[in-house]
Chain A
């Protein structure tokens, strides 16, 4: 039921040379990031992100995943190298990218409706129009009926759904998610994963996803980028071509799925010791 074809290279991979395709929406070229105090967070990162795919960044803690995501988002400037989004160099945040924050970043004084509509509010979309759009996405993430609630009245999982709806509402091509599920319980997480798979089908967006969970990465991704310990560089790129026609439980029990999980674990182990 799970057809697996993957490409695993042992040494450093330069996907720019190998996989450059017209459909790559983000290109990361020669990124280095050195934080003050000579903390070398990222080293010579070259990557391509295919449009419409869900790519996961996976790696040991502190290897620079958040740093890479923030550089792509335009929130952080790289020390050297550049990021191209749809062929144009990134100098700051842009309308083609939307971010889902690990700590939700919701305004506590605003209702769910206003929070979700906030990206549109900042773009001066008329109140009626932006609220209609926000209502639609609140429904999409399963929060219909909670429009007038405040963040402190919601659970962690619900808050993250608000963050996701806000990112969807601005209709960006690329969604950048930094460990969006790390603060929610396992059940919510699984429900969320299903939602994400469904949203990926309906919204046709490119997802760039940071996670700590190997299972989650294999379950969700078209492509997994494994980063090495700091200074983070690309150590492997894996494409788990999972046939998602079965039920979530069937997929999770499938031997091929488990094999990939095991293989990634073996690959990451060298960084743990």
Chain B
């Protein structure tokens, strides 16, 4: 490389962090603007009003503050989160292991794949009443509901991710004398991790659906209880505050997961 090109490259290298920070700030600004626009539209729609049962944004925020202050919100989350966290963690561990095993071994694939393909295609929500029938209305039933919804997508994504690992990277690893364990740890898992994590994100949002369905269909508890109760007494602002809170909570959880993925497994995506 001649000196002139070196200079250009050096200048570009020096300029890059600045540029990256600027584009990140811009992205953040756009996101905030879009959220603000959404809130304004909500407020506007609530004021028309499009429906008597539809509160304005500010009323909803107020109701949220109220429920936060008197502790009902925290108590509800405490109840909802227990089966959700247990179910999601179980699904994550079992799902990723099962999916990866299916991708690595043909025998496991033949046994496992059909079960999860059927489960994913089935309208699992219809199974929840059956779960209640077998496991009653306690914690077990709720955890199972979460797993029923979360597990198939996690398993199938992990399986596909591992089965479709870049073959030329596998050849490269063999060529440079990697053994099977090194191949799995250093090539297959990192290469599969974006799709595995996509499955985890889908699985977690399915887990949220599962827990809310369980709380609405099995016994009204936690957030499900808040929603049903406030609907019953026509406290629409409170009902919407509960619904919005679980949506925001779910979105924040998924963002956190993405952050974990990028920091731990795919540092190049931070660039």
A170–B176 CB distance below 8 A: yes
Task: Confirm or deny: B190 has a beta carbon within 8 angstroms of a beta carbon on chain A.
Answer: yes
Main SS class of interface, A = loop
Task: Confirm or deny: A137 has a beta carbon within 8 angstroms of a beta carbon on chain B.
Answer: no
Binds B, one of A16-24, A82-90, A91-99, A238-246: A91-99
**B residues near A98, Cβ cutoff 8 Å:** 175-176
Task: Confirm or deny: B178 has a beta carbon within 8 angstroms of a beta carbon on chain A.
Answer: yes
Say which residue of A93, A109, A110, A142 sits within 8 Å of B177 (CB atoms).
A93
A105–B169 CB distance below 8 A: yes
Binds A, one of B48-56, B219-227, B229-237, B261-269: B261-269
**A residues near B191, Cβ cutoff 8 Å:** 107, 109
Instruction: Tell me how many residue pairs across A and B have CB atoms closer than 8 Å.
Output: 64
Task: Confirm or deny: B105 has a beta carbon within 8 angstroms of a beta carbon on chain A.
Answer: no
Given contacts A105-B171, A145-B10, A145-B13, A150 and B271 within 8 Å (CB-CB): yes
Bound form: Cα–Cα A105–B166 in Å:
9
Task: Confirm or deny: A257 has a beta carbon within 8 angstroms of a beta carbon on chain B.
Answer: no
Main SS class of interface, B = helix
Bound form: Cα–Cα A118–B186 in Å:
10
Chain B nearest CB: distance from A68 CB in Å? 15
Say which residue of B166, B168, B176 sits within 8 Å of A118 (CB atoms).
B176
Given contacts A95-B177, A118-B176, A145-B13, A109 and B268 within 8 Å (CB-CB): yes
**Residue interface mask B1-28, A partner, CB < 8 A = 1:** 1000000011001000000000000000
Determine the interface band of chain A, counting residues with CB < 8 A from chain B: 20 to 34
Bound form: Cα–Cα A97–B174 in Å:
12
Nearest residue (CB) in A for B170 is A105
**Residue interface mask B183-218, A partner, CB < 8 A = 1:** 000110011000000000000000000000000000
Task: Confirm or deny: B182 has a beta carbon within 8 angstroms of a beta carbon on chain A.
Answer: yes
Task: Confirm or deny: B90 has a beta carbon within 8 angstroms of a beta carbon on chain A.
Answer: no
Given contacts A93-B176, A122-B178, A153 and B271 within 8 Å (CB-CB): yes
B172–A105 CB distance below 8 A: yes
Say which residue of B1, B174, B190 sits within 8 Å of A75 (CB atoms).
B174
Task: Confirm or deny: B131 has a beta carbon within 8 angstroms of a beta carbon on chain A.
Answer: no
A–B complex contacts, Cβ < 8 Å, 12 sampled: A93-B174, A98-B175, A101-B168, A101-B172, A105-B169, A105-B172, A109-B265, A119-B177, A122-B177, A122-B178, A150-B268, A150-B271
* Interface set of B (CB-CB < 8 Å, partner A): 1, 9-10, 13, 166, 168-169, 171-178, 182, 186-187, 190-191, 265-268, 271
Complex A-B, nearest 10 residue pairs according to Cβ-Cβ distance, in ascending order: A150-B268, A119-B176, A105-B172, A122-B178, A99-B175, A105-B168, A93-B175, A109-B190, A109-B266, A122-B176
